[in-house]
Amino acid sequence: MTNKWWQDAVVYQIYPRSFLDTNQDGIGDLPGIISKLDYLKDLEVNCLWLCPVYRSPGKDNGYDISDYTDINPEFGTLSDMDLLIREAGQRGIKIIMDLVINHTSDQHPWFLKSKDKNSPYRDYYFWKEDTNGKPPNNWTGFFGGKTWSKDPGSGDWYLHLFAKEQPDLNYHNPAVIEEIKSILKFWLDKGIAGFRCDVINILWKESLNDGRKRLILTGSEHYISKQRNHDILKTLRKDVLDLYDCFTVGETVFITPEDARDFILPERKELDMIFSFEHMETDQIIVKWFKTKFKPKKLFQTLIKWQKELPWNANYLENHDQPRSVSRFGNDGKHREVSAKMLAVLLLTLRGTPFIYQGQELGMTGFDFQSMEDIRDVESINIHRLAKSLHIPKKIRWQMIRRTSRDNARTPFQWSDENYAGFTKETPWIKVNGNYKRIHAKEQIKNPDSVLTFYKKLIALRKNSVVLRKGSFTSVYYDKNIFVYKRTYEEESILVLLNFSDRKIEYQSSGSVLFTNYKRELYDGVLNPYEGLLLQL
């Protein structure tokens, strides 16, 4: 079987707000991305996923869209976007966009018009008249708290699973699907190579009845992965996506591998890949805000399960919603570099398409903020408020935020040791991590032993290895700190050995050293602290 182009791709995720600011307003922008295309080409990534760059009031940093076919002026213009697509294309880099269609901004013209009961836009959203002063149902939302808010004008309620400025679209109305089709066409005609589809398995609300009471997301049984959700995806695929050479990767929440197969098996003609969350939940108790000590074994077991059960995975260890992987699964103190490299080995040797999040290739760490004043994320602010109302002590509240806040991933990209890490010359929209004097791209580009150079070598290795790109995955061994698996294609096999601890560990195996984050020529049966080793069998 030959791979599709997106199966051979290495995708790099950009959070435009935090990438590079060129007009000195403290906010990253499209010209910033254009000016760093050579950096990305050097890294040998060949596809970029841009987090939302559409027009947006920015209540959820672009995940609240007010115009799907225009660019947020903070980021630039449509012609900047055209230029980006062209310039990237000349370097062999394709671009996928974030597609946020579960909800719009409350400033989207559709929503503004829908406030009028007689408007044809009324049924684009879920509106309910107030009967008893109480919300129409007991659902709780993704950002903690309520899912219904009142329009101050009419006193009517509308549904929002995320922030109140993100009203949910109503897919019971066929007109909504038609609108989405034309948005897809608009961008595909501009040369976009696909979409990362935001919370794509919660589009269809089967009913608005009360939900069974749960600790989180009461009501979710009414909208997670419903049959009609699959039908919507099939329609978008058949009527639009299949007419282009593009791919989709769907962010799917609360999903088992079995459900996931229904979204991605090629014969189902829905999505091409999905992002699952189970491996991101291996250091938490029930909800992400309650973190426990990270136990590598749980991560290994989860990865094995998904590798076995899906024919193809979208692999990631970081994104704009997750704390930095080196601080979370590695060691961001003494072993920062070596553990960041070991995590790179994991990401780039699993079966599937790897997604690297900006700054991961430098081993960037979680933020060093001291208090809520530095926090920008709407989710963190809402959860903090909720925790306060529940009388959770201040110290514990801050611990929750510090370990889990999405702002951990959103501090500005560390380009150099100049002021503000070379991200901007003016005050950035969110604080730069103080460790930029030590950890930055300018130094790592020249340093043959840097995390960045290691990523480059590993990406090149993967490109040239049919085993790593196409081979099957077999778990060979794991315990509380080591993970050993094999990739096999035809007669050839590569064994991957990962040590997730800061101690030397014995593990007997034969094979010749193909690649490692240590300087060694022979394998002597001992894995170094945080070693990531590839043996040619």
Sign of CA dihedral 110, 250, 50, 83: negative
Residue 288 binds: one of ligand ISL, Ca ion, none (C-beta under 5 to 8 A by kind): ligand ISL
Question: Do 128 and 207 form a contact (C-beta atoms < 8 A)?
Answer: no
Q: Which residues pair with 496 in a beta bridge?
A: 485, 534
Name the residue nearer to ligand ISL (CB basis): 279 or 351: 279
Distance CA 347, CA 355 (A): 8
3-state secondary structure labels for all residues of 223-242: CCCCHHHHHHHHHHHHHCHH
Residue 21 binds: one of Ca ion, ligand ISL, none (C-beta under 5 to 8 A by kind): Ca ion
Question: Do 422 and 328 form a contact (C-beta atoms < 8 A)?
Answer: no
Distance of CA 365 to the CA centre of its chain: 16
Closest CA to 92 of 41, 50, 34, 43: 41
Closest CA to 208 of 256, 262, 250, 168: 168
Residue 253 binds: one of ligand ISL, Ca ion, none (C-beta under 5 to 8 A by kind): ligand ISL
Name the residue nearer to ligand ISL (CB basis): 63 or 485: 63
- Using rule CB under 6 A, residue 199 touches ligand ISL: yes
- Using rule CB under 6 A, residue 37 touches ligand ISL: no
Question: Do 128 and 157 form a contact (C-beta atoms < 8 A)?
Answer: yes
- Contact flags string 317-346 toward ligand ISL, x per CB under 6 A: ---xx-------------------------
Name the residue nearer to ligand ISL (CB basis): 93 or 197: 197
Closest CA to 224 of 137, 380, 102: 102
| Binding test (CB under 5 A) with Ca ion, winner from 5, 7, 8, 25 | 25
Pairing of strands 94-99, 47-50: parallel
For 247-335, strand residue ranges (E) read 247-251, 273-275, 284-285, 287-291, 314-316
Residues 6+ apart with CB under 8 A from 490: none
Name the residue nearer to ligand ISL (CB basis): 142 or 485: 142
Question: Do 153 and 116 form a contact (C-beta atoms < 8 A)?
Answer: no
Indicate if 198 belongs to the active site.
Answer: yes
Least gap, CB of 94 to ligand ISL (angstroms): 21
Candidate ranges 14-22, 183-191, 245-253, 428-436; the one touching Ca ion (CB under 5 A) = 14-22
Residue 100 binds: one of Ca ion, ligand ISL, none (C-beta under 5 to 8 A by kind): ligand ISL
Name the residue nearer to Ca ion (CB basis): 23 or 207: 23
Distance CA 365, CA 362 (A): 9
- Using rule CB under 6 A, residue 60 touches ligand ISL: yes
Scanning 169-226, the segments in alpha helix (DSSP H) are: 174-189
- Using rule CB under 5 A, residue 29 touches Ca ion: yes
| Binding test (CB under 6 A) with ligand ISL, winner from 34, 48, 50, 100 | 100
Candidate ranges 27-35, 56-64, 259-267, 440-448; the one touching Ca ion (CB under 5 A) = 27-35
Name the catalytic one among 80, 168, 198, 278: 198
Query: What SS3 state is found at 215?
Result: coil
**Residues of this chain, 106-135, that bind Ca ion according to CB under 5 A:** none
Residue 25 binds: one of ligand ISL, Ca ion, none (C-beta under 5 to 8 A by kind): Ca ion
- Contact flags string 277-296 toward ligand ISL, x per CB under 6 A: -----------x--------
Distance CA 432, CA 322 (A): 17
Residue 29 binds: one of ligand ISL, Ca ion, none (C-beta under 5 to 8 A by kind): Ca ion
Q: Give the residue numbers marked as catalytic.
A: 198, 251
Binding site for Ca ion (CB under 5 A): 21, 23, 25, 27, 29
| Residues contributing to the site for ligand ISL (CB under 6 A) | 60, 63, 100, 142, 162, 198-199, 251, 253, 288, 320-321, 406
